[in-house]
Amino acid sequence: MTLLMASEVQHLVRLSTVDMIIVVFYFALVLAIGFYLRGRANTGEDFFMAGRDMTAWVAGLSFLSANLGALELMGWAGSAYQYGILATHWYWVGAIPAMLFLALVMMPFYYISKTHSVPGYLKLRFGEPARAVSAVSFGLMTVLMSGVNMFAMAKVMQIVLGWDINFSIWVSSITVAIYVALGGLRSAIFNEVLQFFLIWAGALLIPILGLYEAGGWRNLKILIAQRASEQYVHLWSGLGSFADNPMGINWAGIIFGLGAVISMGYWTTDFLVVQRILAAKDIRSAQMAPIIGAGFKMLVPIIVILPGLLGLGLLDAKLVPESVAATTGAHSYNDVLPLMLARYCGPGLLGLGITALIAGFMSGMAGNVSAFTTVWTYDIYRPLINSKGSDQHYVSMGRWTTVIGVLISVGTAYLVMQFASIMDYVQALFSFFIAPLFGTVVLGMLWKRATGLGGFLGLLCGTVSSISMWAWVKTDPSALRYVALSAHAKALAQDMYQALWSFLICVLVTVVVSLATKPKADSELEGLVYGLTKVPSVGNVAIYQKPLFWAGIVTVVFFVLNIYFW
């Protein structure tokens, strides 16, 4: 307990004894789950793929939870305060179509090919060079991102609770290392589902009490219009031009950049989330899992965006950007969620809310570590270093890689502590690979004429073009008007358009090179490409058990929500 000393910095909330008991109980439970599952991770299939026996619900909630990190919760609540309800696009247009596309179009190919990973699919479809580029870049970025998130979370705990930064880093990372190394992917998935429930239990009271205090949604809209602008509560009506909304983006950037490229890239090819679906027990579960995830994803704005909007409408103090907060001592946008937590939650509830944040962080970290472990062992170590090891050898390698991956993440966290600018570079680096990778994978699945050289060069050119655009704007900020097509564009618009152009370049290069090179024989592409693959039936089940039925329901709700909040 002596390590939990309050820092010099004034912190937002103070935990009572019952709060501390709730936090400690959480750590004890996740470790208990890890120890319980250690006997069920003895083979490669068990350790890396959770035995491929997860139900649709477990895989679907884990799929969503791996993405529902604490920084995501706090960051997007802050964005909602800053930009209003526009931030919801990252949960609806920026997720739902991609999740349904994954379920209905892409999942059958991932599942039938019995691949262990997304780079593994690239190996089957395009050959070793494409897998090597994808695996090395993914592995590197995953542990670096994990470290960056670890540092950011420790910083949050310091600001919110006054916890020592070293204490937060080591306790959380050792806990994750223990339960993932013991129980493998199954342990990570079980804990992610637990964390999903804790996040909702800890965060749902804020919107309930907030709406009660505001006098309902209608009154909240009036309060926000008085304090900021009416545009803060409209999803689409201000997206006609870059200058008409607080985010500095237009409808084309949201639909084509975010909806069609970035979210498709993230939700369908980022192995961190796809790995959870690959652990499903059958094809129907594998297709239902992303649809279940999509259903809950549509609800996440209730615990993320709504608290930000409630802060905008109800908090007396005006929150400011991080840069201003650092010099003036005022609260920043990112503090809105802890501020709302402290506003409504006394002893007990506060502990649960803080546990929700810690759980969110640890589920994200466990997701990164388990994905890194699989890609390192199956896509780098086995094909490039030691292809003759036994199954037991690779399981052992997986356990050690988990520990080493966590240690690299911790090292990155300390590196970021010394050189803060590294954080921006690492986060940018991660985004470079997502959009081109989606172009390569989707062409590989849907176009049988795509060749190995075409896929490899398309991925390479798309990635290089993304890095070039980022470097161009970094060295000459006025270049943003060319990359994002408007002088009024802001940083988020750059991300959207950069992704769109790099995706298009990847597709163009892949198509041109493929047409100029010799295609693979159809017999080599069976089980990998649309038109040459017999997609297995989900079985003779009632209509309400069919993925297509539930995808239809989710689609209808998605459109109704967008129209209601137009």
Q: Which is nearer to other proteins, 29 or 553 (CB)?
A: 29
342 binds other proteins per the rule CB under 8 A: yes
Beta bridge partners of 347: none
Number of residues that bind other proteins (CB under 8 A): 32
User: 3-state DSSP call for residue 359?
Assistant: helix
223 binds other proteins per the rule CB under 8 A: no
User: 3-state DSSP call for residue 468?
Assistant: helix
Binding letters toward other proteins, positions 191-210, x by CB under 8 A:
--xx--xx--x---x---x-
Q: Which of 110, 124, 125, 104 is nearest to 290 (CA)?
A: 104
Region binding other proteins by CB under 8 A among candidate stretches 136-144, 270-278, 348-356, 387-395: 348-356
Tell me how far, at minimum, the Cβ of 17 lies from other proteins, in Å: 9
Tell me how far, at minimum, the Cβ of 192 lies from other proteins, in Å: 10
Q: Which of 298, 299, 302, 279 is nearest to 289 (CA)?
A: 279
Q: Which is nearer to other proteins, 213 or 230 (CB)?
A: 213
Q: How many CB atoms lie within 10 A of CB 421?
A: 8
Distance between CA 227 and CA 224 in Å, rounded?
5
Distance between CA 45 and CA 534 in Å, rounded?
25
φ, ψ for residue 270, nearest 5 deg: -75, 115
Q: Which is nearer to other proteins, 269 or 355 (CB)?
A: 355
Q: Which is nearer to other proteins, 194 or 375 (CB)?
A: 194
Tell me how far, at minimum, the Cβ of 67 lies from other proteins, in Å: 19
Angle formed by the axes of helices 283-297 and 547-564, to 10°? 10
User: 3-state DSSP call for residue 283?
Assistant: helix
What residue type is 345 in one-letter code? C
Tell me how far, at minimum, the Cβ of 158 lies from other proteins, in Å: 23
Binding letters toward other proteins, positions 349-378, x by CB under 8 A:
x-xx--x-----------------------
Distance between CA 409 and CA 365 in Å, rounded?
9
Residue of the chain from 11, 12, 27, 36 that contacts other proteins (CB under 8 A): 36
Structural element, H or E, at residue 475? helix 452-475
Distance between CA 395 and CA 137 in Å, rounded?
22
Q: Which of 486, 380, 503 is nearest to 431 (CA)?
A: 503
Q: Which is nearer to other proteins, 25 or 217 (CB)?
A: 25
For 24-41, b where at least 16 C-beta lie within 10 A, e where not — what string?
eebeeebbebbeebbebb
Binding letters toward other proteins, positions 6-35, x by CB under 8 A:
----------x-x--xx--xx--x---x--
281 binds other proteins per the rule CB under 8 A: no
344 binds other proteins per the rule CB under 8 A: yes
Tell me how far, at minimum, the Cβ of 231 lies from other proteins, in Å: 28
Residues from 424 through 463 that contact other proteins (CB under 8 A)? none
Residues of this chain that interact with other proteins (CB under 8 A) are 16, 18, 21-22, 25-26, 29, 33, 36, 40, 58, 190, 193-194, 197-198, 201, 205, 209, 212-213, 342-349, 351-352, 355
